[in-house]
Structure 1
Amino acid sequence: MARGDWTAADMPRLDGQTVVVTGANSGLGYHATRAFAHSGAHVVMACRDMKRGEEARVELAANRPSGALELQKLDLADLSSVRTFAETFSDVHDRLDVLCNNAGVMAIPRSETEDGFETQFGVNHLGHFALTGLLLDQMTGEDARVVTQSSGVHEAGEIEFDDIQSEESYDEWGAYAQSKLANLLFAYELQRRLDDAGVEHVRSIGCHPGYAATNLQYRQPEAEGSTVRKAAMGVANAVLAQSAAWGALPMLYAATEDVPGGGYVGPGGLMNIRGHPAVQESSERSYDEVTAGRLWQVSEELTGVEYDFELFSTTFGEG
């Protein structure tokens, strides 16, 4: 089938591969998990809410996928949880083939994570930055992938280094846009650092779902107690959005097809908000290497997670 018509049915078999999907119990993560499992992968469902995670796992298992489904707790708003997840994963599994940095929060009233980070920046970017760094040395397969979910809203984002936690001024959409820009700056900088270290078996790829109807859109009006905004979001989803299953396609395409490291995948149809997945260009700001390097340094300082590419490269080469 032509790449322009790509769907989950075109995914290759993933038998013997291990995939981690954050936020796997609902929305994009749920549908990506289903597709990975039906392609034969062992999928680790990394979920904050274990009750909802188990309900999703049972529901997915009822469709008898050829792969396996495993549930592990991961709260990206708590770095101790991120570290525990990584340790547990490493104890149980000998390698990781695909890491989907998918979970996130969107345009919520200001709050802070367990570690004192502004929640959107902390969950969407810093939690995944730490998770990737702690799992990277498990990615020893011939074609491992780190796929980081961004959003078209990243185009409005700017990294406010002077107030990166939005303590002096907070705008819920501005903070969301910053976190989504951070996702892409991270994805591209990770690829540059892998290249510089001579690591050829891992690709870092960014993606976005376009406008997909998920529960994420309702969290802002619910947090604000606005029934009007919630109703308006429902109308917009019905008219403009594609389904969450279609929104998951760019992530699945980035994880399984021959997309170059440092690439960006999103819907290729109407205004890049719906349609079959295609390789695209993100905003000019997302490719700023100076900003990416500074963000990387700040992220290491805030999370306490440092990436040792030289050791990773040497260890893999000796293996």
Structure 2
Amino acid sequence: MSDTRLLADRTVVVTGGTGGIGRATAQGLAALGARVAIVGRDRARAESAAADLRRIPSAGEVDVFEADLSSQAQVRRLAAELQERLLRLDVLVNNVGGFWAHRHVTEDGIELTFALNHLAPFLLTRLLVDRLVALGHARIVTVTSSAEAFGRIDFDDLQSERYSGQRAYNQSKLGNVLFTYELVRRLGDTGVTANLVHPGVTRTAFGAEDQATWYAMSGIGRPFMRSPERGADTVVWAASAPELEGVTGGYFHDRRPKRSSPRSRDETTAKHLWEVSEALTGISR
């Protein structure tokens, strides 16, 4: 089978698919023949990204879903729409995320970094897991960051009342890793795999909404950052590579397995974070 047909019968959902690594990921998966569902909070940007995908000769169908994933109500609506409109779900790419130098609170009363970077993929994955399990060989790929190595889950201040943008971001990325490892344990032998990708420091509009962050990230170091396409390469690989069939609980960078931080492998912390996340999202099984 040629690479352009590798995912010809697969349906993939990419959150944050309107720009940066997410858009490049969607393009890479479409080039492999997948039906790609782009999730973005801005309809115009999502439609623009979808138009680009439809110009890829090998692309399957392209679907657009509009949702602000910092809102739990919109995450729930999105999950319902995905299950209604898509007959199958082979791959869920949890890519959406952000960094803010200043503290913001969502409509749910939750600090924005924790809400978008951790609780959104936690809740969306939990709402879609039955559909994934029903397929029997689905994949979950979550985009994290090496910043997880500097993170600490502060259960006394998950909402970052004592705010530092970097500390909040590090905590949320550590949350991604802890969540994935706990998810792997809970999925057991369902056939669904869950893996993590650190894409590297990438040249995107990441942090553009917060001018203090944007100016810092678009300064002297920006020319040395990776392109979105290079950042997305391992995400596309993790979502599609035949050699990863059945491989779960991996942490990958540049298509190579890496060992995540000691804190990320603390099963007690992972279980507690799972339970707290359930309480904050109102979901349980």
TM-score by length of 2: 0.93
**Counterpart Cα distance in 2 of 1:89 and 1:203:** 20
Task: Find out whether 1:290 has 2:268 as its counterpart.
Answer: yes
Match of 1:143 in 2: 137
Percent of aligned pairs sharing the same letter: 39
Does 2:89 align with 1:111? no
Q: Which letter maps to 1:112?
A: V
> For the Cα contact (< 8 Å) 1:157–1:180, is it kept in 2?
yes
Distance of 2:182 and 2:5 partners within structure 1: 28
Asked if structure 2 preserves the Cα contact closer than 8 Å seen for 1:113 and 1:119, the reply is yes
Matched, 1:61 2:54: yes
How far apart are the structure 1 equivalents of 2:20 and 2:107? 25
**Counterpart secondary structure, 2:64:** strand
Aligned match of 1:203 = 193
Report the number of matched residues: 280
Q: Gaps spanning 5+ residues in structure 2: where?
A: none
Is 1:238 the counterpart of 2:223 in the alignment?
yes
Provide the residue aligned with 1:130 in structure 2: 123
SS class of match (2:196): strand
- Say whether the 8 Å CA contact 1:74–1:81 is kept in structure 2: yes
With over 3 angstroms needed to count, the CA separation of the structure-2 counterparts of 1:165 and 1:34, relative to structure 1, is same
Match status 1:155 vs 2:145: no
Unpaired stretches in structure 1, ≥5 consecutive residues: 1-8, 268-276, 309-319
CA distance in 1, matches of 2:4, 2:271: 34
User: Matched residues in 2 for 1:133 and 1:208: separation?
Assistant: 22
Letter aligned with residue 250 of structure 2: G
Q: Which of 19, 23, 26 is the matching residue for 1:33?
A: 26
Q: Distance in 2 between matches of 1:12 and 1:161?
A: 46
Map of 1:127-276 to 2, 5 A cutoff? 127-139=120-132, 140-167=134-161, 169-195=162-188, 198-199=189-190, 201-220=191-210, 222=211, 224=212, 227=215, 229=216, 231-232=218-219, 235-239=220-224, 241-257=225-241, 258-259=243-244, 260-267=247-254
Superposition deviation, residue 231 in structure 1? 4.6
Q: Could you tell which deviates more after superposition, 69-78 or 136-145? A: 136-145
Structure having the higher Rg: 1
How much has 1:11 moved relative to structure 2?
Answer: 7.8
Taking a change above 3 Å as real, the CA distance of residues 12 and 212 of structure 1, as seen in their structure-2 partners, is: farther
Q: TM-score, normalised by structure 1?
A: 0.83
Whether contact under 8 Å (1:11, 1:256) holds in the other structure is no
Q: Say if 2:4 and 2:31, in contact at 8 Å, map to a contact too.
A: no
With over 3 angstroms needed to count, the CA separation of the structure-2 counterparts of 1:209 and 1:10, relative to structure 1, is farther
Question: Could you tell me how far 1:292 is from its partner in structure 2?
Answer: 0.2
